[in-house]
């Protein structure tokens, strides 16, 4: 009881200090899209574009400025976007995204606004609308659909960092055309396929005042429930500062700006020190902007491939590395988005899918059965017998903002409480791996510091069961 009283005392102390930085009523809160996006935890993004079929190694810097000579190479023999969605579900994803357009500018759906699309392939098999079919498959399999729209680069029309290449009146007219085309595409994507979970503008969609397409009002008008990621006017999530699939610990959902910059125009505060601010956020930031940790599944052994290439299976992350990535993203209050790339058959390759299945199964097994189910009103776990606790899962209610700023986990032995973990951020989820599990019967969490009145949603402990299937 004494320890608890001290804990409460410390809590109150820090609470008073904390309001010095941020009043509880000023605490940034997620909108419903952000809350759902954090809760979803894991998404898969499918990259698919013309150059998958060119038989060449993908070099982004060259690809961005080099049109594909012949779009007819895009000829997937067994195209089945439902198989993509199923593979995402098997990986445990709650949402999935598809590149409606990437840097070639080629649209994977029969856009009326952008003639450079699948209709130009002249298929007669009814599979021209990869985007529409993908979204249908998401609904069928209970995943939330998202769309990636690449507007920063367009090798076909000659767009470099949002700017149409050229000069004089032709450049002005073609920029106007391009901006209008993009806006119409965004409108199509927002109005043709029902509610979307996330719209992802690659590299940010810049700002209409900088001459870029004016996409924010369109998304807000037609998809008010959709997460907007992102342009210079708004970012409802932020890039986590690397494509490693991980963020720092702590990683706060708060951020000092309402945007993170687009393309080559991000503010210095954001990119200095290796994008540290993106990786950690700022507990006192005035804007709710949770972090995305993204990585391609084919990111191992010195490779980093968002797009399929032949004979590249060795670049698929090992299961161990994927699990580690998961703990350093989802387990650190970020949303993990893994990149998967279908092959020239139009399917997620067997080896990739197998790894996704293993990963989904592994995480599911690992966190399926806590030693005991905590009651939301209690901050203490009491087991029937001693268990060597390997993993702890913490979740706080972030619907009114991320409140907890520091906490400790203690275990009781012989009537004495001992700290076994000290942490700061919890947020949507914090996963703790105890490297040297000590058998214990009672655990508790002490929240030393919070803004406002925090509410713990989950306090679960697990033995290391996944090694004993």
Q: Which residues contact a copy of itself by CB under 8 A?
A: 65-67, 69-72, 110, 112-113, 115-117, 119-122, 155-158, 160, 164-167, 169-171, 173-174, 177, 180-181, 184
> Rounded to the nearest whole angstrom, what is the least distance from the CB of residue 454 to a copy of itself in the complex?
52
Taking the least distance from each CB to a copy of itself, the nearer of 24 and 120 is 120
CB of 70 to a copy of itself, least distance (A): 7
459: which residues sit within 8 A by CB, 6+ positions away?
Answer: 374, 378, 379, 381, 392, 393, 394, 443, 445
Min dist. Cβ of residue 107 to a copy of itself (A): 10
Element (H, E) at 394: strand 391-396
Nearer to a copy of itself by Cβ, of 27 and 68: the residue is: 68
Return d(Cα 441, Cα 359) in angstroms, integer. Answer: 30
Q: Sheet holding 238-239: strands in order across?
A: 227-229, 198-201, 144-149, 95-101, 42-46, 335-340, 291-296, 238-239
Q: 3-class DSSP state for residue 339? A: strand
Residue 213 CB, shortest distance to a copy of itself, in Å, is: 13
Q: Which residues contact 170 (CB under 8 A, 6 or more apart)?
A: none
The distance of closest approach from Cβ of residue 125 to a copy of itself in the complex, given in angstroms and rounded to an integer, is 14
| CB-based contacts of 384-387 (< 8 A; 24+ apart in sequence) | 385/441, 386/439, 386/440, 386/441, 387/439, 387/440, 387/441, 387/461, 387/463
173 or 376: whose CB is closer to a copy of itself? 173
Judged by CB, which is closer to a copy of itself: 103, or 312? Answer: 103
Nearest Cα neighbor of 200 from 98, 51, 50, 336 is: 98
Of 213 and 240, nearer to a copy of itself (C-beta) is 213
Nearer to a copy of itself, 2 or 124 (CB): 124
Tell me the residue ranges of DSSP E strands in 315-379: 335-340
- Contact 133/81 with Cβ under 8 angstroms? yes
Closest to a copy of itself by CB, 69 or 415: 69
Burial class (CB in 10 A: 0-12, 13-18, 19+), 100: buried
Euclidean distance between CA atoms 372 and 382, whole angstroms: 8
**Minimum gap (Å) between residue 129 Cβ and a copy of itself:** 10
Give the nearest distance from C-beta 68 to a copy of itself in angstroms: 8
Smallest distance from the beta carbon of 376 to a copy of itself, in angstroms?
54
In this structure, the number of other CB atoms found within 10 A of the CB of residue 37 comes to 27
Q: Which lies closer to a copy of itself via its Cβ, residue 105 or residue 146? A: 105
Q: Which is nearer to a copy of itself, 160 or 276 (CB)?
A: 160
Q: In the chain, how long is the greatest CA-to-CA distance?
A: 82
Tokens describing residue 13: 């102390």
Q: How far is the CB of 296 from a copy of itself (least distance, A)?
A: 25
CB 427 within 8 A of CB 397: no
């Amino acid at each position: 009881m004494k320890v608890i009283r001290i804990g409460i005392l410390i809590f109150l102390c820090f609470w008073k200090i904390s309001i010095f930085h941020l009043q509880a009523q000023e605490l940034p809160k997620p909108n419903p899209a952000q809350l759902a996006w954090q809760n979803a935890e894991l998404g898969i993004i499918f990259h698919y574009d013309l150059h998958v079929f060119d038989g060449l190694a993908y070099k982004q810097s060259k690809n961005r400025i080099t049109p594909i000579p012949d779009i007819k190479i895009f000829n997937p023999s067994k195209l089945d976007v439902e198989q993509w969605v199923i593979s995402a579900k098997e990986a445990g994803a709650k949402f999935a995204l598809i590149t409606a357009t990437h840097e070639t500018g080629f649209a994977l759906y029969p856009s009326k606004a952008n003639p450079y699309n699948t209709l130009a392939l002249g298929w007669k098999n009814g599979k021209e609308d990869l985007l529409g079919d993908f979204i249908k498959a998401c609904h069928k399999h209970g995943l939330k659909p998202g769309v990636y729209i690449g507007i920063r680069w367009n090798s076909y029309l000659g767009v470099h960092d949002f700017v149409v290449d050229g000069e004089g009146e032709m450049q002005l007219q073609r920029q106007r055309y391009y901006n209008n085309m993009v806006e119409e595409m965004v409108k199509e994507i927002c109005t043709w396929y029902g509610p979307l979970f996330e719209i992802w503008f690659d590299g940010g969609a810049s700002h209409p005042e900088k001459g870029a397409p004016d996409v924010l009002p369109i998304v807000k008008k037609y998809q008010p429930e959709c997460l907007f990621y992102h342009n210079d006017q708004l970012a409802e999530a932020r890039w986590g500062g690397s494509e490693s699939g991980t963020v720092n610990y702590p990683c706060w959902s708060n951020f000092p700006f309402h945007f993170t910059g687009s393309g080559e125009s991000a503010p210095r505060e954001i990119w200095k020190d290796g994008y540290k601010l993106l990786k950690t956020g700022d507990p006192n930031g005035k804007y709710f902007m949770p972090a995305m940790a993204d990585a391609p599944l084919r990111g191992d052994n010195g490779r980093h491939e968002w797009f399929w290439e032949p004979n590249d299976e060795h670049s698929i992350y090992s299961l161990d590395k994927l699990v580690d990535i998961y703990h350093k993203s989802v387990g650190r209050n970020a949303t993990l988005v893994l990149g998967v790339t279908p092959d020239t058959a139009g399917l997620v390759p067997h080896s990739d899918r197998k790894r996704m299945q293993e990963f989904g199964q592994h995480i599911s097994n690992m966190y399926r059965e806590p030693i005991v189910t905590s009651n939301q009103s209690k901050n203490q776990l009491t087991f029937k017998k001693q268990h060597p606790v390997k993993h702890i899962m913490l979740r706080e209610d972030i619907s009114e903002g991320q409140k907890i700023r520091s906490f400790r986990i203690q275990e009781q032995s012989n009537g004495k409480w001992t700290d076994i973990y000290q942490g700061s951020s919890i947020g949507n989820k914090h996963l703790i791996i105890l490297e040297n599990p000590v058998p214990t019967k009672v655990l508790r969490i002490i929240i030393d510091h919070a803004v406002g009145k925090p509410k713990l949603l989950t306090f679960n402990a697990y033995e290391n069961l996944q090694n004993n299937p």
